[in-house]
A and B are shown apart, each in its own frame.
Chain A
Amino acid sequence: MFLLQANTTALFSVGELQLLAPELILTVCACAVLVMEVVLPYKRGKLTGYFSLIAVALAGASLFAQWYANSYLLPLTGFYGMVRIDGFAIIFKAIFLIAAALSIAVSLRYLDIEGEQRGEFYALVLFATVGMMMLACGYDLIALYISLELMALTFYVLVAFTKRERRSNEAGMKYFLLGAFSSGILLYGMSLLFGVAGSTNLGDIAHKINEVLNAPPMLEGAPTPLRPMLLLGMIALAAGLFFKIAAVPFHMWAPDAYEGAPTPVTAFLSTGSKAASFALYMRIFIEALGGMRADWAPQLGLVAAITILVGNWAAVTQTNAKRLLAYSSISNAGYLLLGLVAGNTYGYVGIILYLLVYTLMNVGAFGVIIALHRRGIVGDRVDDMTGLAQKAPGMAAMMAIFMLSLGGLPLTGGFIGKYFLFGGLLQRGATEQKNWYYWLAVWAILNTVVSFYYYLRFVYAMYFREQPADNRPLALSPALNTALVVACIGVVFIGIYPQPFIHAAQALIGALAASGVVALR
């Protein structure tokens, strides 16, 4: 009632709340999960997990309705330009919801084994998802910062969730210290950007930056005084975001956090959090700093090249499967950066498709590791896969598909994503007549060959080693099996018949690519 009366003073209109319907549904359900946790007896704790799955499904339905009803009206803005619902936001939100649903499904059994079946876990996962979704649709530095922190703070808790486990504590502490540090650097970049533009709205910032860059030199012949501040801000923003996506000079937290965290959290961290950080990266660097492409594209290309190199070569010597997948995730951050370096429709479609496929195959791979985790058996070494093909042929086949897709074998989803990422780079090289784009693509392809070595180690252990690691049955549950089968079908389907996904990504991302072109001018 108060809101309706306040309408005349234009606080915000009730209709604008519809823009955030999926997030509101998730927030309310997360609060309900916290209440259920207190009310339900401990034995029924799992119900909160199933309830959170329903919550994610409801949010997904609401997101679909939002897209279906407004597909010709996009982009919609509200809350004084703080929120902007466009195709970009919708497609990223869909990826986050898929990641959240799969991660919740694989965590039900894991938490039982750990004896930590508590509702807070699911509530935290839902809150993290809300943060990610707000990150995809925020169009103002304030909104982006607070949603980033909502996601990051919940992840600090999730990584340290098994509090009796020393490895989890340690991972939580390291992730917290470095995560808070990187947020501070990112924030400093935001303050400098505010100093240049005098506004926190991304559209205003882009406008102002183009003015600064195109300003005629002053009479005394001095360079534009705002330009150094702008460059410093851009570098601080890039450094903070490199931390978040685990690109190389700033990647050292990732292996520790991934190895020590509970496995479902690792799955969610490596997919949802990475996709959300990429959404933030694209929002800031394409929409706000798009005019400075000539300044950031070479720097980004260099970081991508080093990231691909270090991630792939460091993974070769790992024996712990979670740590190996952490390095693989670092190298994948490098591949995804290539899409930004390319900065054309091909590259953006590549980022979207690869993030979608990466979510499916990575949660799938961690799901298989969870299936190997039983009471008294950690099951997270590569050697624990030994003989899986005899013990559980279906599980082994799915793991093999996930691994080959991570490597990028044709007919799997990973190949389609990489094809678009590399193709975008070649296209950009052709339009700009610069050779380094070609060399970067060649470099990435060569390192992909290296990655097959360590992905195939899993396949070798599962199929070609005789002695099974142990004879006790796997810890399966209906939710885990469903999640794995869905992920596997998704990876194969996108690999064999990618056209609908490519068309959807092109249609939804088209506005962004167009805005990038305008900013380039």
Chain B
Amino acid sequence: MIPMSWYLALSAVLFTIGVAGVIIKRNAIAMFMCIELMLNSVNLTFIALSSFFRDVSGQLFVFIVMTVAAAEAAVGLGIIITVFRNRESLDVDDASVLRD
């Protein structure tokens, strides 16, 4: 039996990789993928805790998160496509019309 803390440590590491990726990456789609990684690390936490507590609400939460992530992907990729259509670049550093 793998101890509970390993699951939590793994998901914390994955979450940190996701956060670091959002900060480091400059391409909008790569940033979005890192955000998905963050959400999935949270899912891992929920599933591990849910089996630890023998409580089903953690797994319910995972279903909700997956649904929301799918909706978010649809909306986000839609927005990214409109940006690409008008500008032909997805580098967030090029997005500089709005500035101080």
Q: Which residues of A are interface residues toward B (Cβ below 8 A)? A: 141-142, 145-146, 149, 153, 156-157, 160, 163-164, 166-167, 169-174, 176-177, 180-181, 184-185, 187-188, 190-192, 194-195, 198-200, 255-256, 259-260, 318, 323
| B57 and A199 contact, CB distance less than 8 A | yes
- What is the minimal beta-carbon distance from B57 to any residue of chain A, in angstroms? 5
20 extra interchain contacts, Cβ-Cβ under 8 A, other than A190-B61, A198-B55, A200-B57? Answer: A141-B61, A142-B57, A142-B61, A156-B75, A166-B87, A174-B98, A177-B22, A181-B31, A188-B15, A191-B49, A191-B61, A192-B45, A194-B46, A194-B57, A195-B8, A195-B45, A195-B49, A198-B53, A199-B55, A255-B98
| A167 and B98 contact, CB distance less than 8 A | yes
Q: Which of B46, B65, B71 has the most CB of A within 10 A?
A: B65
Q: Which residues of A contact B19 (CB under 8 A)?
A: 181, 185
| Number of B positions contacting A (CB below 8 A) | 41
| B97 and A255 contact, CB distance less than 8 A | no
With both beta carbons as reference points, the residue of chain A lying nearest to B34 in the complex is identified as A181
Q: Which of the residues A145, A170, A177, A198 comes within 8 Å of B31, measured between beta carbons?
A: A177
> CA of A187 to CA of B72 in the docked complex: distance in angstroms?
14
> CA of A157 to CA of B71 in the docked complex: distance in angstroms?
12
The answer to the question of B17 belonging to the interface, with a C-beta cut-off of 8 Å to chain A, is no
Q: Which residues of B contact A200 (CB under 8 A)?
A: 57-58, 61
| B83 and A173 contact, CB distance less than 8 A | yes
Contact with A along B17-43 (1 / 0, CB 8 A): 011001000001001100100110110
For the complex of A and B, 4 pairs with smallest distance between CB atoms? A184-B38, A191-B45, A256-B98, A198-B53
| A172 and B82 contact, CB distance less than 8 A | yes
Q: Which residues of A contact B83 (CB under 8 A)?
A: 169-170, 172-173
| B97 and A188 contact, CB distance less than 8 A | no
Contact with A along B61-74 (1 / 0, CB 8 A): 10011001001100
> CA of A174 to CA of B19 in the docked complex: distance in angstroms?
16
With both beta carbons as reference points, the residue of chain A lying nearest to B39 in the complex is identified as A184
| B75 and A169 contact, CB distance less than 8 A | no
Q: Which of the residues A157, A166, A191 comes within 8 Å of B46, measured between beta carbons?
A: A191
Known: A142-B60, A194-B49. A187 touches B79 (CB 8 A): no
| B75 and A259 contact, CB distance less than 8 A | no
Q: Which residues of A contact B10 (CB under 8 A)?
A: none
Q: Which of the residues A153, A169, A187 comes within 8 Å of B39, measured between beta carbons?
A: A187
| A180 and B97 contact, CB distance less than 8 A | no
